[in-house]
A and B are shown apart, each in its own frame.
Chain A
Amino acid sequence: MLRASAVAEKIGIPTVSIIGSAFMKQAAVVCRGLGIPFALAEYPGAPMVDSDAELRAKVETNLLPAIIEGLTAVSGPAMGEALTEPEIGSVVFKGTLDEVQEHFHQNLWSDGLPVIPPTREWVDAFLKFTDRDPRDVIRALPQEGREASILSIAVNGVMAGCRPEYMPLLVAIVEAISDPNFRIEAAGSTPAWEPLVVVSGPIVEELDFNYGQGVLKVGRQANSSIGRFARLYMRNICGYRIPPGTGDKGSIGYTFNVALAEDEEWSRNIGWPTFSEDAGFGPGDNVVTVQSVVTSSPPTYSAGDTAIRHVQQFADVFVRAFSYGSHSGVKRGYWHPLVVIGPSIAKVIAREWTKDDVRRFLWKTMTIPASLMRHFCAQTAAQDMDFAKLVGEGTLPAHYAPSDDPDRPVPIIVKPEHIGILIAGDPGRNQSRGYMSNNAQGARTSRRVALPREWEKLRAQQRGPALAQR
């Protein structure tokens, strides 16, 4: 049974195992042998021989508190020998550029692509762009319990090919993924979701982010290197690595998302609040938002001069793209699609509809028969989908189970406000696209970007590319 616990821990679920007292020593050996940290909850005595009343009392008084403690314990005991890792801040290697690449590849410190060697000079250049102490730790992150320190962010930022002035954004990204609601511990699962970073605020223009044609393609340094940073950080600090590493169990996967930015001026011109304003930020705030993306719709072309023509098209395409996977988010009561609307399309829609109108229409229109959602669920997971139970526990609104009728339509998105809407892409084309989260994992999480006090001065000092600064 402890093998089940090992698998659960390895796939990214905090797990506690119930052990009868006589078996605790054995459990410790088994857990060490299986290579999992052991969160064990002891049932005092042998449950087999206890009466119903005794068992009930022990569950309440001893077992449940022990279970909660096991699931929430801050640090677990070390398993076997600790990883021998270099001392923080130390120089780990000296050599030529080629030798550095080879060394980093061998140690699984790169993502398979060449990295900029994180020399002390480069790292210091990054650290100038934050007021935080390099030793400051945001949080110890799964899977390997390594501390997400400001220094580690600078090092990985250098490696990813970022510019020093991106450092405040990188810090905000790591703050976002460290938020417990984001559930970074679920990032190594088989569907293979990637984080998507959205950048908002004046910083978009200042740092030359792409938000126009080819917005989600590699090519522009800000978008590309920051997207690469997010994935590299998850490999190096969190420990999500595909073979020959461990931790990332993505079956097929796709590659890292470049960072996304919005055409905020366009949004203002057509009278829509921006993506970050939707989240409650002000127009002058610099914000990063991170969420999981597991798949996208096809590139979606729409035509017509009324809002409904376009949004109906979105609904028709996205419902087909997202129906299969929706059961997983619906079971949690939350998943968070992101709709990227081409600027010209948004202009037409905005003449008649607000963003909330769009959300409501999509939510109302994108339905599938309840039986189909249950079928998709049964094909994928080990459990049936019990809409009545989900409504009963408050996870889903009542309209998911007004009756038993298997043909009744159920919305694939739980609430309209879960839908993110952002304007980006080629203004000369009529193309939009939908992005699907991995159920509730990688929840949409925003953090304000904290610029250093000396930001203006540092920016003024930068003349030309940062490379010339070395």
Chain B
Amino acid sequence: MSERSGIAETADLEVPDDIDAMFDALYERGVTDGLPVIPPTAARVGTMMAAVPLDPGHVLAELPPRGGLATVEKVAVNAVMAGCRPDYFPVVVAAVEALVQPQFNLTGIQTTTNPVAPLVLINGPVRNRIGVNCGAGALGPGWRANATVGRALRLVMVNVGGATPGDVDKSILGMPGKYTLCLGELEELNPWEPFHVERGYAPGESTVTLISVQGTQSCAASYTEPEPILRMLSNAMTAFGANSYTKGNGNPVVILPPAHARIFAGAGWDKRQIKQALFERTMYPQAEFPMRLLDTTARQQIHDGRVCICRRAEDIVVIVAGGPELNHIGFLASFGNDLAINPIRY
């Protein structure tokens, strides 16, 4: 039987001790993202794996398109390279498992011409335990957990899943989020329930959510009332070249800084109402789409001759994160496949 379902081993690598030569060697092999990596020695990988009570050979997922087996060990190797600390490893493990939830359509994400990357959203007590930035600059550089957890996931997607840029990952331009795109929700300043609670998890549980997004956008909305904020935000969201418009599914992501969240909550709005308002205001008349689209995979969600941003209002994700100023709201357009959420078990 093992003949038919064997686990192939990839051989250990011998690399120079010198740090520059070592980086060159690994870069030439195509296993870095172009940035330096921490060499995954057996000792480092062992320490990383000790953070979860799983066997090194335990298969977390088979990753398309190559079908490479993401064993605990392989994921640990890539997590070491990314620069993760061992206490980040349970989050990375949960994220790798989430990749292969069927609705997430990893095959599509790995092989498309679209610039898509997975947004890694972390909820629950793990954020504070490992120091995930949820506040100012949450999607930017400077915070080790944000930088390396997202990076580890992407290295796994490429090194284990086989999505080498150009040949297999056909993304025409790519985008910086393919290096890393990871933040935590600022639950402490969220006037409503956190994202994972909205999805049925207990507040005290920690979860990781993967949402396939095409890029980041910013919307200046320095208003003190909901109506003008909604007008500005919905305008930013109505970029109908986003896949979610053409595919009629997916999860457009709205990141409300805490100040904006306070304004909505103070005026008596909850998340459901915000989503409904945005869903309605981001509809676009079908007649105004350019007629002879070169190629289209039109499975659009159309209500009364207007194309919707996704399947339903509830699918819009509204989270709270970012710095304290009442300025720019974040919007991430959706690739058009549904999110995957997974509890962090260890």
Residue numbers of A with Cβ under 8 A of B are 3, 22-23, 25-26, 29-30, 32-35, 48-49, 81, 83-84, 106-108, 244, 246
Contacts and interface: CB of A to CB of B under 8 A. Distances in A.
B295 A30 contact: no
Contact of B295 (A22, A29, A48): A48
A452 to B, nearest CB: 36
Contacts of B218: none
B124 interface: no
Given A3-B107, A23-B170, A81-B8, A29 B294 contact: no
Contacts of B4: 83, 246
Contact of B1 (A29, A49, A106): A106
B111 A30 contact: yes
A84 B3 contact: yes
Contacts of B111: 26, 30
A36 to B, nearest CB: 11
Given A49-B294, A106-B1, A32 B167 contact: no
A407 B88 CA distance: 69
A29 B168 contact: yes
A244 B66 contact: no
B99 to A, nearest CB: 14
B295 A34 contact: no
A3 B105 CA distance: 11
Contacts of B137: none
B168 A25 contact: yes
Contacts of B170: 22-23, 26
Interface string B6-43: 00100000000000000000000000000000000000
B65 A33 contact: yes
A34 B168 CA distance: 14
A245 B214 CA distance: 41
B107 A25 contact: no
B295 A26 contact: no
22 contacts: A25-B167, A25-B168, A26-B65, A26-B111, A26-B167, A26-B168, A29-B66, A29-B162, A30-B64, A30-B107, A30-B111, A32-B66, A32-B67, A33-B64, A33-B65, A33-B67, A34-B64, A34-B67, A35-B67, A106-B1, A108-B1, A244-B1
Nearest to A34: B67
A93 to B, nearest CB: 15
Contacts of A49: 294
Contacts of B65: 26, 29-30, 33-34
Interface string B44-78: 00000000000000000000111110000000000
A275 to B, nearest CB: 41
Given A34-B67, A49-B294, A107-B1, 9 more contacts: A25-B168, A29-B65, A32-B67, A33-B65, A33-B66, A33-B67, A81-B8, A83-B4, A108-B1
Contacts of B162: 29, 33
* List of 6 A-B pairs having minimum Cβ-Cβ separation, nearest first: A33-B67, A30-B65, A25-B167, A33-B66, A48-B295, A33-B65
Interface in B165-203: 167-168, 170
Nearest to A245: B4
Contacts of A83: 3-4
Nearest to A81: B8
A83 B6 CA distance: 11
B167 A29 contact: yes
Given A3-B107, A32-B66, A48 B1 contact: no
A22 B112 CA distance: 12
B197 to A, nearest CB: 35
Interface in B137-183: 162, 167-168, 170
Nearest to A106: B1
Contacts of A25: 167-168
A108 B170 CA distance: 41
Contacts of B295: 48
Contacts of B168: 25-26, 29-30
Contacts of A30: 64-65, 107, 111, 168
A32 B4 CA distance: 15
Interface centre among A33, A35, A48, A246 (most CB of B within 10 A): A33
Contacts of A22: 170
A81 B67 CA distance: 14
Contacts of B66: 29, 32-33
B58 to A, nearest CB: 20
A84 B6 CA distance: 11
A317 B210 CA distance: 58
Nearest to B62: A33
A107 B1 CA distance: 6
A249 to B, nearest CB: 16
Contacts of B3: 83-84
Contacts of B68: 33
Contacts of B107: 3, 30
A25 B170 CA distance: 10
Contacts of A32: 66-67
A230 to B, nearest CB: 24
Contacts of A35: 67
A237 to B, nearest CB: 16
Interface centre among B1, B66, B168 (most CB of A within 10 A): B168
Interface centre among B65, B168, B295 (most CB of A within 10 A): B65
Interface in B239-261: none
B67 to A, nearest CB: 3
B320 to A, nearest CB: 37
A441 B59 CA distance: 39
A23 B111 CA distance: 9
Nearest to A30: B65
B251 to A, nearest CB: 22
A35 B64 CA distance: 11
A48 B294 CA distance: 7
Nearest to B161: A33
Contacts of B67: 32-35
Nearest to B64: A33
A180 to B, nearest CB: 28
Nearest to A49: B294
B169 to A, nearest CB: 8
B339 to A, nearest CB: 21
B264 to A, nearest CB: 42
A48 B296 CA distance: 10
A30 B170 CA distance: 12
A108 to B, nearest CB: 8
Interface string B282-300: 0000000000001100000
